[in-house]
């Protein structure tokens, strides 16, 4: 018995089923075939190249229809080479990229992209990012540039085990163990980094953990809402948003530890202290504009030498606003409590050339503390409180400073040793000066063209060697000095007007004086000593004053002698020898004790030795009149 054939309708359905199944099987086979994978890879390369504006190469491609997934095996994005038929420098190399496909309405999109172990290398040039500059327009077709899309065609981006490098001149930033995952809504992501390494020449800093939240990136730009970075040199937090090829906006807070910056400054310098910085970032990636406030706390700069380190400058605290644009850094409203006083000013630094200029106004600043806080002397022999206005400029490469200053000072104190611990030689109430200064090659030159106390004037030119030699040469031109201002000077009670020239020289801690001085109407200890007197003056350690050849005239009596004053002794010591070859006794003798008609000439030879209190005098002399002559000797002790 034969089986009846199926009805025609069922036969047609069977044929369609077999054809559909065969077609589906054939489609699966075609989709999984190397030929189809290669064809789709070439299409994807072209689309990605147009989107990114860079060369894209896909090693292999696998489609998994059941999972609606596309897997790329081996992805290389490179910067086009300027030489035809040569491969450009690699920008991105990824081991695998998996794309989970879906629909947004009727538009196909990537629901999720997972990138395994990508390696990214970008370069930042003077005019901006070298790579992805053509991301807006794609290949050059001669048509008008296309506006960038509002968003990338994916919902989620995952990165696992990535590495990133950014290079700019001597700066290299390496980021390892990068993990990126979705965070919340609106297409934002969270970044976690296992380690971040920053290197500038021989200086290296590394952070073990970096996080950034609220990241949103589109073909138009990048936004980071919460960045947290902790390195030995600094702690950074804040956020920023930038448009590719367009503006950048951000706010950052930086807390820096200055000792960790030592490798970035010249090798002979060392830094101490803390810096706090708040920044507002504007402008563009290639030409950023920074505005903010900087605070330095307990800051010090040391110069390293073979015999140790020397303090260059110490600052208790500095506050300033700053502005950086087009390579020019300005410090605005600089304020500091320094050297016992207050300093305000502004400064400008041209970063490409290293040239700078500054203006400073100081109030009630201590010169002695400046010497201490700039390493000139740990126990200065001079101090004064000064108000000053300084205008100067120079260069960092090579380093030099030149400028001028107006100074109004109070309480000039000079001692033979540490001015805070030694007896004062001078205590002058006030003075003013106009200064010119220059610093170059560890040398400081200061010229005081007009020093005026109101009753005295002089000029001084100082050459300070700040190298390990630590030596000073100070040339003095004494125009006119009222000796009554030179007090206390061991209570010598000097009067007269002095002129001359001299030099103070020697190591900072062992200065000496040599000079030639002349005095009119000279008085000492309340006595008139000379109408005029000249003598060389030597003070090898500024403690002992040696007048080696006194040449004087008092009234009609010329006299010569020498004197040594020991200002370091307590009480002050005096050794004085006096010779009058042909003098009139009336010059020295009080008028009320003169005898009528007796005007004897005398030739005393005297020596005073000992302390001011008491002092000893021994004299021998001869005298004569027109009718007689006499000789005698005297030894006397006197107490004041």
| 237-271 pLDDT tens trace | 898 888 877 788 999 999 988 888 776 666 667 78
Q: What distance lies between CA 409 and its chain's CA centroid?
A: 27
Question: Which stretch of 13-27, 201-215, 347-361, 453-467 has the lowest confidence by average pLDDT?
Answer: 13-27
pLDDT tens for each residue of 301-347: 776 666 666 666 777 788 999 999 888 999 998 898 888 888 899 99
pLDDT score of 13: 61
Does the structure show a pLDDT above 60 at 532?
A: yes
Q: Which two tokens stand for residue 81?
A: 């080479």
User: Between residues 499 and 202, which one has the greater pLDDT?
Assistant: 499
Helix and strand counts by DSSP (H, E) for the chain: 4, 37
Distances (CA, A) of 621 to 553, 577, 598, 604, 626: 18, 13, 17, 4, 17
Mean of the per-residue pLDDT values of the chain: 78
Does the structure show a pLDDT above 50 at 601?
A: no
What percent of the chain shows pLDDT beyond 70?
77
Question: Which stretch of 210-224, 437-451, 579-593 has the lowest confidence by average pLDDT?
Answer: 579-593
pLDDT score of 496: 92
Q: Which two tokens stand for residue 73?
A: 């095996």
Does the structure show a pLDDT above 80 at 637?
A: no
pLDDT score of 185: 66
Does the structure show a pLDDT above 90 at 554?
A: no
pLDDT score of 628: 40
Task: Say if residues 138 and 93 touch (Cβ distance below 8 Å).
Answer: no
Helical (H) or strand (E) element with 293: strand 288-305
The model's pTM: 0.64
Give the mean model confidence (pLDDT) for residues 400-426. Answer: 83
Residues 6+ away with beta carbon under 8 Å from 228: 210, 211, 212, 236, 237
One-character DSSP codes across 368-416 = HHHHHHTTS-SS-SEEEEEEEEEEEEEEETTEEEEEEEEEEEEEEEEES
Residue whose token pair is 């400054």: 265
Q: What confidence category does residue 133 fall into, taking pLDDT thresholds of 50, 70 and 90?
A: confident
Does the structure show a pLDDT above 50 at 594?
A: no
pLDDT score of 81: 64
User: Between residues 580 and 93, which one has the greater pLDDT?
Assistant: 93
Q: What confidence category does residue 626 fall into, taking pLDDT thresholds of 50, 70 and 90?
A: very low
pLDDT score of 431: 87
Interatomic CA distance for residues 360 and 315, integer angstroms: 15
Interatomic CA distance for residues 286 and 123, integer angstroms: 12
pLDDT score of 28: 55
Question: Which stretch of 82-91, 396-405, 502-511 has the lowest confidence by average pLDDT?
Answer: 82-91
Does the structure show a pLDDT above 70 at 135?
A: no
End-to-end CA distance of the chain: 163
pLDDT score of 515: 93
Does the structure show a pLDDT above 50 at 635?
A: no
Give the mean model confidence (pLDDT) for residues 129-142. Answer: 61
Does the structure show a pLDDT above 90 at 517?
A: yes
pLDDT score of 612: 44
Does the structure show a pLDDT above 50 at 592?
A: no
Q: What confidence category does residue 54 fall into, taking pLDDT thresholds of 50, 70 and 90?
A: confident
Give the mean model confidence (pLDDT) for residues 608-631. Answer: 45
Does the structure show a pLDDT above 90 at 21?
A: no
Q: Which two tokens stand for residue 158?
A: 């995952």
Question: Which stretch of 164-173, 284-293, 303-312 has the lowest confidence by average pLDDT?
Answer: 303-312
pLDDT score of 266: 66
pLDDT score of 375: 67
Does the structure show a pLDDT above 60 at 602?
A: no
Helical (H) or strand (E) element with 39: helix 34-52
Angle 377-383-386 from CA coordinates, rounded to 5°: 120
């Amino acid at each position: 018995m034969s089986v009846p054939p199926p009805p025609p309708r069922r036969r047609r359905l069977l044929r369609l089923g077999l054809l559909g199944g065969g077609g589906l099987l054939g489609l699966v086979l075609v989709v999984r075939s190397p030929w189809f994978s290669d064809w789709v890879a070439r299409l994807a390369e072209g689309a990605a190249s147009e989107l990114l504006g860079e060369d894209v190469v896909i090693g292999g491609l696998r489609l998994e229809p059941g999972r609606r997934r596309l897997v790329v095996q081996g992805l290389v994005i490179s910067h086009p080479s300027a030489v035809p038929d040569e491969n450009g420098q690699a920008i991105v190399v990824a081991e695998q990229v998996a794309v989970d496909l879906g629909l947004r309405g009727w538009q196909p999109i990537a629901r999720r992209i997972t990138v395994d172990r990508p390696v990214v290398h970008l370069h930042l040039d003077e005019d901006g990012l070298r790579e992805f500059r053509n991301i807006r327009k794609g290949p050059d077709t001669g048509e008008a540039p296309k506006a960038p899309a509002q968003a990338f065609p994916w919902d989620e981006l995952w990165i696992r085990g990535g590495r990133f490098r950014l290079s700019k001149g001597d700066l290299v930033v390496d980021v390892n163990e990068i993990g990126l995952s979705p965070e919340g809504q609106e297409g934002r992501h969270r970044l976690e980094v296992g380690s971040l390494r920053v290197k500038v020449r021989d200086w290296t800093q590394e952070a073990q953990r970096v996080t950034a939240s609220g990241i949103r990136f589109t073909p138009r730009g990048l936004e980071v809402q919460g960045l947290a970075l902790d390195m030995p040199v600094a702690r950074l937090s804040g956020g920023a948003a930038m448009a590719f090829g367009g503006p950048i906006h951000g706010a950052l807070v930086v807390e820096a530890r200055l000792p960790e910056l030592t490798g970035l400054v010249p090798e002979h310098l060392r830094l101490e202290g803390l810096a706090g910085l708040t920044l507002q970032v504007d402008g563009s990636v290639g030409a950023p504009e920074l505005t903010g406030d900087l605070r330095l706390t307990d800051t010090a700069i040391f110069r390293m030498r073979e015999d140790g380190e020397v303090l260059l400058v110490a600052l208790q605290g500095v506050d300033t606003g700053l502005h950086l644009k087009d390579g020019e850094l300005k410090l605005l409203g600089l304020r500091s409590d320094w050297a016992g006083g207050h300093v305000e000013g502004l400064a400008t630094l041209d970063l490409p050339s290293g040239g700078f200029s500054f203006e400073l106004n100081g109030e009630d600043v201590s010169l002695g503390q400046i010497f201490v806080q700039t390493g000139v002397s740990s126990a200065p022999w001079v101090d004064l409180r000064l108000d000053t206005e300084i205008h100067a400029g120079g260069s960092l490469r090579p380093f030099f400073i030149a400028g001028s200053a107006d100074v109004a000072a109070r309480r000039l104190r000079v001692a033979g040793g540490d001015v805070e611990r030694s007896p004062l030689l001078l205590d002058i109430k006030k003075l003013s000066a106009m200064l010119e200064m220059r610093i170059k090659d560890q040398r400081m030159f200061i010229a005081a063209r007009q020093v005026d106390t109101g009753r005295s004037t002089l000029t001084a030119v100082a050459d300070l060697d700040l190298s390990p030699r630590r030596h000073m040469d100070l040339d003095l031109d004494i125009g006119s000095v009222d000796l009554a201002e030179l007090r206390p000077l061991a209570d010598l009670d000097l009067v007269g007007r002095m002129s001359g020239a001299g030099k103070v020289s020697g190591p900072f801690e062992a200065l000496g004086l040599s000079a030639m001085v002349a005095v009119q109407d000279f008085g000492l200890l309340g006595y008139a000593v000379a109408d005029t007197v000249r003598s060389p003056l030597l003070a090898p350690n500024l403690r002992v004053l040696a007048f080696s050849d006194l040449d004087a005239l008092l009234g009609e009596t010329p006299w010569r002698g020498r004197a040594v004053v020991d200002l370091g002794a307590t009480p002050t010591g005096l050794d004085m020898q006096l010779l009058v070859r042909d003098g009139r006794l009336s010059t020295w003798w009080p008028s009320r004790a003169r005898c009528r008609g007796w005007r004897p000439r005398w030739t005393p030879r005297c020596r005073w030795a000992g302390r001011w209190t008491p002092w000893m005098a021994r004299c021998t002399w001869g005298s004569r009149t027109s009718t007689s002559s006499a000789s005698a000797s005297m030894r006397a002790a006197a107490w004041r």
